Structure 1
Amino acid sequence: MLPLVTRDELKKEIDAGSVTVVDTMPADYYRAEHLPTAVNIPGFPYEQAAAFTDELAPRLLPDPAAPIVVYCANVPCRNSELVGARLLRLGYTHVRKYREGIEDWVAGGLPTARKGDNAPHS
């Protein structure tokens, strides 16, 4: 089980630029809406999560010691746990999980972003 981070903690870290956020939703969902600054490593379909992580992590997450937070849709979503666990196996040392996911972020009234559009959306 990955260590957890709260919405407020994650917001502060994003604002400070001190964390790399990884959206683990399928690419179409990521393009439609994601947390500000997030990169995408899909964790679904579940059986492809490890392959997606192996392929994308070296390019998107070049520093294995950097603080990383993975998230997906909500508490029942397994994507972030699968990608986060795989990152640990690949040697990433500071991986945490925002368990409540983007649904909680949006419910809290916080801005999101879209692929190809750097402006935040509320």
Structure 2
Amino acid sequence: MVQVMKPQRLLMATLLMVGCVDQTEMTESVNEAVPVKAKQESQDVPKKEDSAPVKKGEITQASIEQVFELKTQGRAVLIDTRPSIFFALGHIDGAESFPLKEFTEIKGKLFERVKQVKSEGKTVIIYCANVKCPDSHEMAVKLAEQGYDVSVFKEGWELWKEAGLD
């Protein structure tokens, strides 16, 4: 039997397929063992001759149970890296939208927000659509290069919604 998708579901499915940044490029690195250290050299961050190099942050993975617990206790801030349209269609309650595709434009605001969250002693948890979407891992690498420890909820919005937590 062929199942016909409702127009809204078809639109969402289509958008999910094209929503993440080059999915094939990052899939392997998302599945690496945790913790994952950020790249030692960064082309995005110029080195200052008269200052010490920035200590690289650590990237860890967070399970759905850990995300739920930290979120419920108010000990985490969630960052959604999906394009804004997906965030508007649904996201983890309380999450903040920082789309990876807009990184160049938002990086100052993002770094400032993460700095604030870390100064409050909270965990930064980054997520995107699902385990196949590399955006959360790529954003985590960018933050780790700036010296921030972050966690990635690699199953993302899809698992959160499937679990009925939306």
1:23 aligns with 2:76: no
Structure whose alpha-carbon radius of gyration is higher: 2
1:76 and 2:76 correspond: no
101, 123, 126: which one aligns with 1:67: 123
Moved more, 99-108 or 82-91: 82-91
Counterpart-to-counterpart distance in 2, 1:85 and 1:53: 16
**Contact 1:23–1:41 under 8 Å retained in 2:** yes
Work out whether 1:10 is the aligned partner of 2:64.
no
TM-score for the superposition, normalised by structure 2: 0.58
Report the alpha carbon displacement of residue 53 of structure 1 after superposing the two structures with TM.
5.2
Aligned-residue Cα RMSD (Å) equals: 1.7
Structure 2 spans left out of the alignment, 5+ residues: 1-35, 37-58
Give 1:55 shift. 2.9
Aligned ranges 1:1-122 → 2 under 5 Å: 1=36, 2-44=59-101, 48-49=102-103, 51-52=104-105, 54-61=107-114, 62-64=116-118, 66-93=122-149, 95-111=150-166
Query: Residues 117 and 124 of structure 2 are in contact (CA less than 8 Å); yes or no, is this contact kept in structure 1?
Result: no
**Over residues 34-73 of structure 1, what are the superposed CA-to-partner deviations in whole Å (9 max), with x where a residue is unaligned?**
11111111113xxx54x25523313432244541000000
Residues matched between the structures, number: 106
Greater share of helix: 2
Greater share of strand residues, 1 or 2?
A: 1
Q: TM-score, structure 1 length as denominator?
A: 0.77
Change (3 A) 1:12 1:52: farther
| Gaps in structure 1 of 5+ consecutive residues | 112-122
